Amino acid sequence: MQKEFVSAGEILKNSSLKATRWRLVLLGMIMKSESGISYQELSESKDFEGHRVTLYRALRDLEEAGIIEKLRDASGNVKYMMKPKESGSHRLHPHFSCRICNSMVCLTDIELPDISLPAGYTREQVVCLVYGLCKSCASTTS
Residue 3 lies in a domain: no
Angle value at C-alpha 123, between 9 and 85, nearest 5 degrees: 30
Q: How confident is the model at residue 86 (pLDDT cuts 50, 70, 90)?
A: low
- Average pLDDT over all residues of the chain: 86
Q: How confident is the model at residue 56 (pLDDT cuts 50, 70, 90)?
A: very high
Residue type at 101? Answer: C
Residue 121 lies in a domain: yes
Residue 69 lies in a domain: yes
Over residues 2-23, the mean pLDDT reads 83
Q: How confident is the model at residue 85 (pLDDT cuts 50, 70, 90)?
A: low
Q: Taking the mean position of all CA atoms in its chain, how far away is CA 139?
A: 26
Q: How far is CA 83 from CA 89, 103, 140, in A?
A: 10, 16, 30
Task: Provide the β-strand partners of residue 37.
Answer: 80
Q: What gap in Å lies between CA 12 and CA 1, rounded to an integer? A: 15
pLDDT of 22 above 80: yes
128 among the known binding-site residues?
no
Residue 1 lies in a domain: no
Predicted TM-score (pTM) of the model is 0.78
* Domain with 134 in it: 8-141
Residue 26 sits in a domain of what CATH number? 1.10.10.10
Angle value at C-alpha 116, between 106 and 77, nearest 5 degrees: 35
The confidence score (pLDDT) of residue 88 equals 40
Number of domains in the chain: 1
Q: How confident is the model at residue 141 (pLDDT cuts 50, 70, 90)?
A: confident
Residue 34 lies in a domain: yes
The confidence score (pLDDT) of residue 68 equals 93
The confidence score (pLDDT) of residue 50 equals 81
DSSP 120: T
Residue 38 lies in a domain: yes
The confidence score (pLDDT) of residue 123 equals 85
Residue 61 lies in a domain: yes
Residues 6 or more apart whose Cβ sits within 8 Å of residue 41: none
pLDDT of 4 above 60: no
The per-residue pLDDT for range 87-140, each reduced to its tens digit, is: 444 567 899 999 999 889 888 888 888 888 999 999 887 888 999 999 999 998
